[in-house]
């Protein structure tokens, strides 16, 4: 399956949907990621803290797909925000994957109380200039965090990866990203398969197009211009989740899904303004 792409402000081409890998580790993880690449995914999410950069790298290396056709992402954990530590962490990530570079490297969380995310981002920009990573980005950054890193470096993050699904649709964050030319990626796009998949509104939209609730939700992301990163273990689910480009939701259906927003819609109460992940 050929996946449509988005073009970031620096000209980077980003697939309209990617593959999440949280909890996929070891040989079984590598096999699962390899199947996802076989199914057609060309944007693979990972993180130093998932302890699976080895599995992701192995899957990419074993796949028959040309290296330049797959975007491999990793992320810098909060405990390594200090400059030299950040650089060593990126070097370790690249070594673990067994690839000669990573494509996207993100500051995983701003950890604003620690207050070193600008230093961390500066280190990633240096790693980019050394060729260790092709593009730098961020994750869980609020608008003020975006402004701080852009002001310090003049380098706009290619992506901001945030929690985003119909129970937490983030209109203000999406607008803030767009104003700055940052592509929004969605983590936990199907709410970690929670109640959202059984929501009657989702069921109704899905039934109208003869697709599954998960497909209706992922199509909603695509039409918002957000890149969802669903994680799925079986080849059937991996293919199902990719198959969202042959139908279109109406404006009414889009609004109905966005209208499911809940004040406490986060899956795990992780507010980047106060949440700390080290
Ligand atoms: N930047 C961050 O701070 C951050 C935070 C969280 C996650 N992430 C990234 O975002 C990715 C996705 O988020 P997530 O893994 O938390 O949640 P998710 O993708 O919203 O949901 C994953 C769950 O949905 C199930 N599932 C997948 N496809 C399905 C289908 N078609 N029908 C029914 N169930 C289905 C999966 O089950 P099976 O696996 O059993 O198929 C798994 O239990 C992560 O893997 C990670 O790469 C980033």
pLDDT in tens, 224-253: 999 999 999 999 999 999 999 999 999 999
In whole angstroms, give the CA distance from residue 278 to residue 116. 12
Residue of the CA atom closest to atom 16 of ligand 1: 188
**Largest Cα span, the chain:** 53
Neighbours of 85 (CB within 10 A): 16
Residue of the CA atom closest to atom 34 of ligand 1: 193
Q: Are strands 183-187 and 227-228 parallel, antiparallel or unpaired?
A: parallel
In whole angstroms, give the CA distance from residue 174 to residue 143. 10
Q: What band does 2 get if pLDDT is binned at 50, 70 and 90? A: confident
Ligand 1 centroid to Cα of residue 20, in Å, is 6
Q: What band does 23 get if pLDDT is binned at 50, 70 and 90? A: very high
Task: Supply the pLDDT for residue 93.
Answer: 98
Ligand 1 centroid to Cα of residue 222, in Å, is 16
pLDDT over threshold 90, residue 1: no
Ligand 1 centroid to Cα of residue 196, in Å, is 13
Q: How far is CA 135 from the centre of its chain?
A: 14
Spatial contact of 243 and 210, defined as CB atoms under 8 Å apart: no
Mean pLDDT, residues 28-54 taken together: 98
Mutational test site, ligand 1, from 188, 191, 227, max ligand atoms within 8 Å of CB: 188
Phi, psi of 81 (to 5 degrees): -75, -25
Q: Left if phi > 0, otherwise alpha if psi is -120 to 50, otherwise beta: which for 20?
A: beta
pLDDT over threshold 80, residue 47: yes
Is 149 exposed, middle or buried (CB count within 10 Å of its CB: 0-12, 13-18, 19+)? buried
Ligand 1 centroid to Cα of residue 46, in Å, is 12
In whole angstroms, give the CA distance from residue 225 to residue 186. 10
Residues 6+ apart with CB under 8 A from 234: none
Ligand 1 atom nearest 238 alpha carbon = 28
Structure tokens given for 170: 């983030």
Mutational test site, ligand 1, from 165, 232, 269, 277, max ligand atoms within 8 Å of CB: 232
Structure tokens given for 207: 């039934």
Looking up tokens 């230093």 gives 119
Active-site residue numbers?
A: 50
Using alpha carbons, select from 77, 24, 92 the residue that is nearest to residue 47.
77
Mean pLDDT, residues 30-36 taken together: 98
Spatial contact of 238 and 215, defined as CB atoms under 8 Å apart: no
Cα distances from 267 to residues 167, 176, 188, 190, in angstroms, run 9, 22, 8, 10
Residue of the CA atom closest to atom 26 of ligand 1: 232
Protein residues whose CB sits closer than 6 Å to any atom of ligand 1: 20-22, 45, 108, 139-140, 161, 187-193, 214, 229-234, 237, 240-241
Mutational test site, ligand 1, from 109, 139, 169, 193, max ligand atoms within 8 Å of CB: 193
Residue of the CA atom closest to atom 33 of ligand 1: 193
Ligand 1 centroid to Cα of residue 177, in Å, is 23
Give 138 or 10, the one with higher predicted confidence: 138
Structure tokens given for 146: 């975006």
pTM: predicted TM-score of the whole model, two decimal places: 0.98
Mean pLDDT, residues 6-30 taken together: 96
Using alpha carbons, select from 34, 31, 37, 1 the residue that is nearest to residue 18.
37
Mean pLDDT, residues 62-78 taken together: 97
pLDDT over threshold 80, residue 138: yes
In whole angstroms, give the CA distance from residue 106 to residue 83. 14
């Amino acid at each position: 399956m050929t996946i449509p792409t988005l073009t970031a402000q620096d000209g980077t081409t980003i697939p309209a949907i990617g593959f999440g890998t949280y909890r996929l580790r070891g040989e079984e993880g590598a096999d699962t990621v390899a199947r996802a690449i076989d199914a057609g995914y060309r944007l693979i999410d990972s993180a130093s803290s998932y302890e699976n950069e080895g599995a992701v790298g192995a899957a990419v290396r074993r796949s028959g797909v040309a290296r330049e056709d797959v975007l491999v992402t990793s992320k810098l954990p909060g405990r390594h925000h200090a400059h030299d530590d950040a650089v060593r962490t990126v070097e370790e990530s690249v070594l673990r994957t067994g690839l000669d570079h990573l494509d996207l490297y993100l500051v995983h969380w701003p950890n604003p109380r620690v207050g070193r995310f600008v230093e961390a981002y500066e280190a990633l920009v240096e790693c980019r200039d050394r060729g260790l990573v092709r593009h730098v980005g961020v994750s869980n950054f609020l608008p003020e965090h975006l402004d701080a890193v852009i002001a310090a470096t003049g380098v706009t993050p290619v992506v901001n990866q945030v929690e985003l699904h119909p129970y937490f649709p983030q209109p203000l964050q999406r607008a803030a990203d767009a104003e700055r030319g940052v592509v929004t990626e969605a983590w936990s796009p199907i709410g970690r398969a929670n109640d959202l998949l059984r929501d009657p509104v989702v069921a109704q939209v899905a039934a109208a197009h003869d697709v599954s609730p998960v497909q209706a939700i992922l199509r909603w992301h695509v039409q918002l211009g957000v890149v969802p990163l669903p994680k799925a273990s079986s080849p059937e689910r991996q293919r199902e989740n990719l198959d969202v480009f042959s139908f279109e939701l109406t404006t009414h259906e889009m609004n109905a899904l966005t209208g499911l927003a809940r004040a406490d819609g986060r899956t795990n109460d992780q507010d980047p303004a106060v949440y700390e992940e080290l």
